[in-house]
Structure 1
Amino acid sequence: MKKEQIIDIIGEAPDHYVKDAKEYKKKRRIPRWSKWMGSIAAVLAIALLVTNMPGIPLTVSAHAISEASESRKMERPENGSDSEMFDEWRTQLDARKELVETAQTPIAGFAGLVSDDVLSGVDGTNRVWSPINAYIALAMTAELTDGETQAQILDVLGVSDAAELRKRVSAVWEEIYEDNGKEISVLANSLWLDKDVEYVQEKMDSIAYDYYASVYQGDLGSEKTNKAMTNWMRNQTGGLLKDRTLKCQLEPKDQVLAIASTIYFQSQWADKFNASDNTHGMFHAVTGDEEATFMNKKEYHMNYYWGEDFGAVQMFLENGSYMWFILPDEGKTVDDVLASDEYMDMITQLSNNSEEESNRKWMKVNFSVPQFDVSASTDLKEALQAAGLTNLFELYGNDFSPSIIKANENDDPVYLDSINQDTRVKIDEKGVVAASYIELNFGAGAAMPPDEVIDFVLDRPFVFAITKSQIPLFVGTVNTP
């Protein structure tokens, strides 16, 4: 799938979470396994929005092998509800919170490890990626592998076994899920099989349940199936990249399987900027000064954080999400920040000891941040290989499991040829807009801050992050606004 074509994934989205198409019956076939052949393409898309997009009808012409589970997240009972219902909600909430807490550290570790390679670069290039979608993409890939290949994936994702991973991903999905009028935050996943692929129904049902993923089957690469995938993706994502979109098409050659995953998030600043307070000034980029529009808050009460090489603040989004702004100290660069785990521990709030408390102070901040619209295309292959994920990219020697699905009787092996992500993040006075997709192609103590008021002016390269429930959704660098 070409990058220009896959960008069409980020099409138009409905106001509300759209249910997948009805399941079509598929006759099960019990395969006699041999080696895999061909290639698998997996595409994931993310949309972070602040305005509702007009809905379009969802039409998926491919056969639905297994339908995505409805959200199992129980909403808080209304006042006056019976105590039994409230107890049930509390029990589920506590169990989910416990699982999410176990997932936060490995997700943060994965995000920090890969971000250093993906985002480093002191130049005029902006860089941004989505750790959570890459994490879920690899988790679903682990379901299709076994042996050493699966072990490597689990190790990179920071878990000991696949059963534990799927429980954590389910809990994270439910924790991120929100649709309450103030915020929309919905993950959606789908697995697409070529028409000639044989599969084990029980495994497809498990993927549908654990990953909230619909499983479809069609003629991958055909106009009909390409349109079906495009319709599904457009109904799950926003239109931030619509000016760059082309018709989404899988190449008919060698396509065996595709994965599409989205996150739709809509929120605004809890305390919006006033456009009348905007100023024009210079952003001191490495490549030279550039004029920018700065949004300002004077003597704004907020927590100021600092680390060995940076200072940072967090802006609240509605319903408890955050956007972090991390400014390297004078004489330091974004690479110095990214090279340390300190900033990731901070944005995921994993350090709650007394030392961390001493690096945070509630104070008045003269806060100034440029409006920016940054985008980046990133090849994650080298970063993941550096993290220890090597077998997956090898033509021979990986362990795609024939006990799950089977292409045909040929001996051509399957391997991951590339894993590419395209992301855009934009902020203005009202809030944040961002969109991203990820494409996997398988061939077959620093000094104390001032006591009273501090100026925090982001007029030179900085790091930013968007988090929800202490999960990093986006991490990026602004080298030029």
Structure 2
Amino acid sequence: MKKILSVALCAAMILSMASVSYASDVKPTLSNAAQTTTVKSKTIKPVTTVSEPDIPEDIDEQYTYLMENQTPAEFIESLQKFGAKTSSMLLSKETENQTYSPVSFAYALGILGSGAKGTTAQNIAKALESNSMSTVSDGLNKFYNSNYSDEENSVLKIANSLWMQDNYNFKTSFTKNAAEKFYASSYSVDFKKQATADAMAKWISEQTGGLLNPTFEPNPDQVLSIINTLYFEGAWANNFKAENNTTGKFTLADGKQVDVTYMNQEFKGSSYYETDDYTMFEVPFMDGQTMNFVLPKEGNSLESLLDQESMEEILSEQDSESVKYADVNLKLPKFSFDTEFNLNQTCKDLGLNELFTGEADLSGITDGDVAVSDVKQESHIEVDENGCKAAAYTKMDIMKMSMPVEMEKYNFNLDRPFLFVIESQDNAPLFVGTVYNPAK
């Protein structure tokens, strides 16, 4: 029943392939040819091009292709567990609208992990609920091959890219593997320049159909950015009719009420799932994906469902004993919102603190001394009568570590009269004094 993309989180949305032209009227497409990006008259050329999967046009051959590239059930389970674990870390913090993409985060970690060695690689695989980085790479590769879609009313795309400081020594094997396994284009750039920051932002915007428009600043210490984008656009299998919309009250967590627009539809002979803690109903999209709506039982808070155990139950196959059948009248509010997460602490909570300290073994990426400096994700979701649009990007920045400098020695001996100051946490002078005789 569950796909990792199905969502009370509709954030398993997926985005287009990597090598694109930065023209606002150009639709992102897969390409075997190297394309360039122009921002403020600065040309940024891919140093590694991306080959699109050879998906057959014949229906019978397509079926064979999909069977050969089907994502292993064990890997889907690992994505579900990773999604439950990280969702419980992020979504339980605030009683406000939030959306998060576990799959986007997994791709960013997967690309980084493909260049990690030793215990660092093992730790990243463990964080992703897998037994090895080869399992992760193969799983994410098949996930792309079996899920990519760019049809009318059914868009499910993934895009990955590497932005690399020019004249910095990166391993060719890393960029080659990123292209082959993750369909990631590689760009040689100068992170000191605003044009590079603008190019990355533009790339994200185009890969997400304009739903996300981030802004970045140049950073002279940065040497690599790994970016994943996800884009989902699904039309309901049965559209909601606007003439059936109603205005009604929505009760907030604090008991207050607000007026919202509800979409209404009857689903004849449908199944829903009911447990002691929640009720779940799936609304299908035209291409077979679903959007799952989970309502806590009356008297229970939404936060009661956001622990890891509950999220694992929600994101995995539902118990057959919980299924019920009825003519379901769905009353669904229209909504649209944006979310931004800094994932640094999440990485650390996953046991990946070494990524930020310079102790990680990233020698499969470069022999230079580097460390992850920042991991962030932004997302957007909107639901209306026609369907759902959702987009996310995860950006992982890697910086060079400063070389240790041999410092001179200085002995500061308070062996004669001296002054002292005691300051508050915001630097206000609480006490100022002098010591002429510490023995007196």
What code does the residue aligned with 1:220 have?
Answer: F
What code does the residue aligned with 1:424 have?
Answer: H
- From the superposition, tell whether residues 157 and 241 of structure 1 become closer, same or farther in structure 2 (CA, over 3 Å): closer
Q: CA deviation at 1:268?
A: 1.0
- From the superposition, tell whether residues 301 and 406 of structure 1 become closer, same or farther in structure 2 (CA, over 3 Å): same
What code does the residue aligned with 1:62 have?
Answer: I
The reply on whether 1:331 has 2:292 as its aligned counterpart is no
Residues 378-417 of structure 1 aligned to structure 2 (within 5 Å): 378-393=341-356, 395-401=357-363, 403-407=364-368, 413-417=369-373
Residues 27-46 of structure 1 aligned to structure 2 (within 5 Å): none
- From the superposition, tell whether residues 284 and 300 of structure 1 become closer, same or farther in structure 2 (CA, over 3 Å): farther
1:107-159 CA-to-partner distances (Å, cap 9, x unmatched) read 00000011111101463x11210010000110011023212222111101122
What code does the residue aligned with 1:313 have?
Answer: F
Residues 417-456 of structure 1 aligned to structure 2 (within 5 Å): 417-444=373-400
Worse overlay, 278-287 or 214-223: 214-223
Contact 1:13 1:237 in 2 (8 A): no
2:69 is aligned to: 96
Contact 1:18 1:235 in 2 (8 A): no
Contact 1:12 1:238 in 2 (8 A): no
Point out the structure with max Rg over C-alpha: 2
| CA distance in 2: counterparts of 1:60 and 1:387, whole angstroms | 39
The reply on whether 1:116 has 2:88 as its aligned counterpart is yes
1:421-480 CA-to-partner distances (Å, cap 9, x unmatched) read 222211111111222222323343xxxxxxxxxxxxxxxxxxxxxxxxxxxxxxxxxxxx
Percent identity over the alignment is 25
| CA distance in 1: counterparts of 2:275 and 2:93, whole angstroms | 20
Contact 1:194 1:219 in 2 (8 A): yes
Q: Unaligned stretches of 5+ in structure 1? A: 1-9, 25-55, 79-85, 408-412, 445-481
1:328-358 CA-to-partner distances (Å, cap 9, x unmatched) read 0012112211225455444443x5xxxx112
1:365-399 CA-to-partner distances (Å, cap 9, x unmatched) read 12101111122222223333223222223x24222
Q: TM-score with structure 1 length normalisation?
A: 0.72
Contact 2:30 2:52 in 1 (8 A): no
1:68-126 CA-to-partner distances (Å, cap 9, x unmatched) read 12124x23514xxxxxxx4x6554332322x4323100000000011111101463x11
1:17-50 CA-to-partner distances (Å, cap 9, x unmatched) read 25376179xxxxxxxxxxxxxxxxxxxxxxxxxx
1:471 is aligned to: none
Q: CA deviation at 1:186?
A: 1.8
Q: CA deviation at 1:289?
A: 0.9
| CA distance in 2: counterparts of 1:290 and 1:212, whole angstroms | 45
**Higher RCO (CA-CA < 8 Å; seq separation 6+):** 1
Contact 2:85 2:311 in 1 (8 A): no
What code does the residue aligned with 1:397 have?
Answer: E
Contact 2:84 2:315 in 1 (8 A): no
Q: CA deviation at 1:307?
A: 2.1
- From the superposition, tell whether residues 396 and 214 of structure 1 become closer, same or farther in structure 2 (CA, over 3 Å): closer
1:289 is aligned to: 257
| CA distance in 1: counterparts of 2:68 and 2:301, whole angstroms | 41
What code does the residue aligned with 1:433 have?
Answer: K
Q: TM-score with structure 2 length normalisation?
A: 0.78
The reply on whether 1:69 has 2:75 as its aligned counterpart is no
- From the superposition, tell whether residues 224 and 419 of structure 1 become closer, same or farther in structure 2 (CA, over 3 Å): closer
| CA distance in 2: counterparts of 1:101 and 1:60, whole angstroms | 45
1:237 to 182, 202, 208: 208
Contact 1:294 1:368 in 2 (8 A): yes
Q: Unaligned stretches of 5+ in structure 2? A: 1-21, 401-440
Contact 1:12 1:237 in 2 (8 A): no
2:77 is aligned to: 105
| CA distance in 2: counterparts of 1:139 and 1:276, whole angstroms | 46
2:226 is aligned to: 259
1:410 is aligned to: none
